[in-house]
Amino acid sequence: MVYRMIFNQEAYFGRGAIKEIPDVAKAHGFTKAFIVTDPVLLETGTVTKVTDVLDAAGMPYEIFSNVKPNPPVECIQDGVEKFRSAGADFMIGLGGGSPQDTCKGIGIIAANPEFADVLSLEGTAATKNPSVPIFGVPTTAGTASETTINYVVTDTAAKRKFVAVDPHDIPLVAFVDPDLTDTMPRGLKVATGLDALTHAIEGFVTPGAWELSNCLSLQTIRMIAHNLAKSAEGDVEAGEQMAYASYITGMAYSNVGLGLVHGMAHALGGLLGVAHGVANGILLAPVMEYNKDFTGEKYRSIAHAFGDPDSYTKPLDEVREEAVQKIHQLTVDLGNPTTISEVGAKESDIDGLTDNAFKDVCTGGNPRKPTRQEIHAIYESLM
């Protein structure tokens, strides 16, 4: 067995990490930045934190701030045009997953114009050239787009999200600066934290997992167990740990894959616009329950991370159920919805959701191979 692991070439962590951007850019010979971000981050001053650093260093830039959550194909196409007229030689993906993923799509198409329709990038498209160099700067603690080889796009016409997996899109450098994630409101900390936890758990139990990815995934399950609730209540130290946990688990799942929670969450995001982390939070415990007999001893470590010191000696069936219950309880305690009707799903949506979840790239990483009927039944049980 041979394992492929792809990471950023360089990464900076800690409060003030964004101050390194100009020197790192100059060291690479870059002269002008194209910043991809969203209107909220522009209005609330997060973008200024980065542009102040660039201004002080005399580094020119242009800002593209039209990114919408669950970014649509059209947003990437708009960004490609703006990038071409900007005369920039590198990009800064500044935001949560939506701006960072849009940045990847723009960078890929700018370097591979034959994929200008965006839709043809679904799955593992055969792009020939690396993206325009990207600096990934997260402002949420969940997606880890700054270190992954994936980006997620909404096909607006078909009302579905799709995943592009392409080593050519990995940001060259990541800057994980908790000063940028502190400003998240409570609901966003919860949603993105549940996304990170889902990455950690799905990346831990996927058949592609191995010793190196397990180190990363399990450590982040522990970090999230200790810090997510505290971070949601405004503890900035815990928030800092969540920013690192998101990145660390991204190093694993980006390389080994995810599972059915993500496949089913993408379907909800595409059809109903449900925030990605909220959708994951609804689905994580029910899919863990569905998967539990296909996870070897791994739920012992999850139960242990969530506070059971005896999880390695209890009967396996008992501890598997306990792990599921602990995750369910966490989502309840955090106030995340626990049903899909709470986020607007109707009975008549379930067939379409099932079709999209069944063919989602992430579903292939699930430890138990689901049938359409089983996916349908999970959605049905969450009405």
Ligand X SMILES: NC(=O)c1ccc[n+]([C@@H]2O[C@H](COP(=O)([O-])OP(=O)(O)OC[C@H]3O[C@@H](n4cnc5c(N)ncnc54)[C@H](O)[C@@H]3O)[C@@H](O)[C@H]2O)c1
160 Rama class: left (phi>0) / alpha (psi -120 to 50) / beta:
beta
Is 222 within 8 Å of 200 (Cβ atoms)? no
Own/partner long-range contacts of 298-302 (Cβ < 8 Å, ≥24 apart): 298/204, 298/205, 299/323, 299/324, 301/204, 301/218, 301/221, 302/201, 302/204, 302/221, 302/326, 302/327
List phi, psi (to 5°) of 128.
Answer: -95, -30
d(C-alpha 220, C-alpha 211), whole Å:
14
Of all residues in this chain, which one has the CB nearest to Fe ion in the complex?
195
- Annotate each residue in 71-110 with x if it binds ligand X (CB under 6 A) or - if it does not, as one string: ------------------------xxxxx-x---------
Residue 10: its H or E element:
strand 10-13
Minimum distance from residue 1 beta carbon to ligand X (Å): 24
Amino acid found at 250: G
Residue 262: its H or E element:
helix 260-272
| Contact status: 356 vs ligand X (CB under 6 A) | no
d(C-alpha 308, C-alpha 283), whole Å:
23
Minimum distance from residue 306 beta carbon to ligand X (Å): 22
- Annotate each residue in 262-301 with x if it binds ligand X (CB under 6 A) or - if it does not, as one string: -------x------xx------------------------
Integer distance in angstroms from the first to the last C-alpha of the chain?
42
Cβ distance to ligand X smaller for residue 38 or 322 = 38
Cβ distance to Fe ion smaller for residue 112 or 231 = 231
Q: What is the DSSP string of 267-294?
A: HHHHHH---HHHHHHHHHHHHHHHHGGG
Is 138 within 8 Å of 37 (Cβ atoms)? no
| Contact status: 193 vs ligand X (CB under 6 A) | no
Minimum distance from residue 65 beta carbon to Fe ion (Å): 23
Residue spans of beta strands (DSSP E) within 126-250: 134-138, 150-155, 160-165, 173-176
Cβ distance to Fe ion smaller for residue 101 or 195 = 195
Residue 368: half-sphere exposure toward Cβ, Cα within 13 Å: 16
Q: Which does 272 bind (CB under 5 to 8 A by kind): Fe ion, ligand X, none?
A: none
Q: Which residues pair with 231 in a beta bridge?
A: none
Cβ distance to Fe ion smaller for residue 195 or 289 = 195
- Annotate each residue in 122-151 with x if it binds ligand X (CB under 6 A) or - if it does not, as one string: -----------------xx-xx-x--x-xx
Minimum distance from residue 142 beta carbon to Fe ion (Å): 7
Q: What residues contact 109, with CB distance under 8 A and at least 6 apart? A: 76, 77, 80, 115, 116, 118, 121
Minimum distance from residue 134 beta carbon to ligand X (Å): 12
Cβ distance to Fe ion smaller for residue 133 or 142 = 142
Options 39-47, 314-322, 324-332, 360-368: segment touching ligand X (CB under 6 A): 39-47
Cβ distance to ligand X smaller for residue 99 or 203 = 99
Minimum distance from residue 322 beta carbon to ligand X (Å): 27
Amino acid found at 235: D
Residue 207: its H or E element:
none
Q: Which of residues 152-211 bind Fe ion (CB under 5 A)?
A: 195
Q: From the list 24, 40, 125, 158, which residue makes contact with ligand X (rule: CB under 6 A)?
A: 40
Q: From the list 102, 192, 295, 311, which residue makes contact with ligand X (rule: CB under 6 A)?
A: 192
Minimum distance from residue 163 beta carbon to Fe ion (Å): 10
Minimum distance from residue 64 beta carbon to Fe ion (Å): 23
- Interface residues toward ligand X, by CB under 6 A: 38, 40-41, 46, 69-70, 95-99, 101, 139-140, 142-143, 145, 148, 150-152, 180-181, 183-184, 188, 192, 195, 269, 276-277
- Interface residues toward Fe ion, by CB under 5 A: 195
